[in-house]
Amino acid sequence: MTMEEVGEQLGWSATKISRIETARVRVGLKDTECLLDLYAVDPAKQGELIDLAKDARKKGWWQAYGDLPAEYTTYIGLEAEAASMRSFAPTVLPGILQTEDYARAVIRSALFVSSPGEIERRVEVRMARQGLLVRDEPLRLWVVLDEAVVRRPVGGSAVMRSQLERLLDAADLPNVTVQVLPFAVGVHPGTNGAFAIMEFPEPADPDVVFMENFTGSLYIEREKDVHQYTMIFDHLRAKALDPDDSRRFIADTVVQFE
């Protein structure tokens, strides 16, 4: 069976199957069982392989938060594996750059029917993800922010001021580039919403575009489609203020929240 055929049978992406087969990710017990059933492995051999899968499980740190949706844990795993990420944010800052108070305000707004405990666990996870920017081989992050992201008050003036100062600190990291797309640009190719392009260290692993909406997440992997998003991102960063001017713009905006 080809990866595409397996993906169609199990409802998985070809990228997921590729990463399992090339040992780029750990295969979970449930996924092991699905594969063994699909491949019609002999029952005796199935038991042996399931035992191996149980012994081999070494959970990522995020697995300690057992109530996280599967779609979210998939994203966290991909983000942790990525070598670089290009992100366009039209409404709020990407989670990997948020302060705790800013993240709490954003998460509370999105999960308004959730318990305080769940909200705090989501905040903890979001803060833990930021370790990717300062690990030994840090994630290379290039972010284009719509001007609205910088100006929109989230969580009150004090929270927003602290957030913009944190953003300036992040922009000083050698692996982080921040650009602001000013209102004066007018209409642009990113008006359809936020997206992130993740690139992985292994050439065999194709880039993945991630998009999120109210009802779920979308992973775009077809080369032609990924290339289109790459061109859109290049267009956005060409129209945005350069990193130095963006830094000055953000620093000037901090005064707005004093």
Residue 221's domain comprises 68-257
> Are 75 and 177 members of one domain?
yes
CATH classification at residue 169: 3.30.870
> Are 139 and 14 members of one domain?
no
Asked whether residue 80 is assigned to any structural domain, the reply reads yes
What's the gap between Cα 222 and its chain centre? 18
> Are 83 and 177 members of one domain?
yes
Instruction: Select the more confidently predicted residue: 68 or 138.
Output: 138
HSE on the CB side for 147, CA within 13 Å? 16
> What is the chain's length?
258
> Are 161 and 81 members of one domain?
yes
Single out the residue of 39, 40, 16 nearest to residue 28, CA to CA.
16
Tell me the one-letter amino acid at 185.
Answer: V
Lowest average pLDDT, out of 2-6, 104-108, 150-154, 237-241, goes to 2-6
Tokens representing residue 204 in the block: 């065999």
How many domains is the chain built from?
A: 2
Lookup result for tokens 């399931």: 50
pLDDT in tens, 66-122: 778 878 888 998 999 999 999 999 999 999 999 999 999 999 998 887 888 889 999
H or E element in which residue 84 lies: strand 84-89
Strand-by-strand arrangement of the 140-146 sheet? 176-181, 140-146, 84-89, 195-199, 208-213, 216-220
Asked whether residue 171 is assigned to any structural domain, the reply reads yes
Lowest average pLDDT, out of 40-54, 119-133, 160-174, 198-212, goes to 40-54
Q: How many CB atoms lie within 10 A of CB 95?
A: 22
> Are 47 and 104 members of one domain?
no
Query: Hey, which of 8-17, 40-49, 102-111, 165-174 has the most confident mean pLDDT?
Result: 165-174
What's the mean per-residue pLDDT of the chain? 90
Asked whether residue 186 is assigned to any structural domain, the reply reads yes
Q: How many CB atoms lie within 10 A of CB 19?
A: 21
Asked whether residue 63 is assigned to any structural domain, the reply reads no
Is the per-residue pLDDT at 58 higher than 60? no
Per-residue pLDDT, 59: 59
Domain boundary among 56, 81, 101: 56
pLDDT above 90 covers a percentage of the chain that reads 62
Outline where the chain has alpha helix (H).
Answer: 3-10, 14-21, 29-38, 43-56, 70-81, 100-110, 116-129, 147-151, 157-171, 223-239, 243-254
> Are 78 and 49 members of one domain?
no
> Are 19 and 108 members of one domain?
no
Domain boundary among 35, 56, 77: 56
pLDDT in tens, 224-254: 999 999 999 999 999 999 999 999 999 999 9
Give the separation between CA 227 and CA 223, rounded to whole angstroms.
6
Confidence band for 56, pLDDT divided at 50, 70 and 90: low
Q: Is the separation of the CB atoms in 240 and 246 below 8 Å? A: yes
Per-residue pLDDT, 126: 95
> Are 147 and 45 members of one domain?
no
Is the per-residue pLDDT at 171 higher than 60? yes
HSE on the CB side for 6, CA within 13 Å? 20
> Are 20 and 96 members of one domain?
no
> Are 102 and 19 members of one domain?
no
Per-residue pLDDT, 211: 93
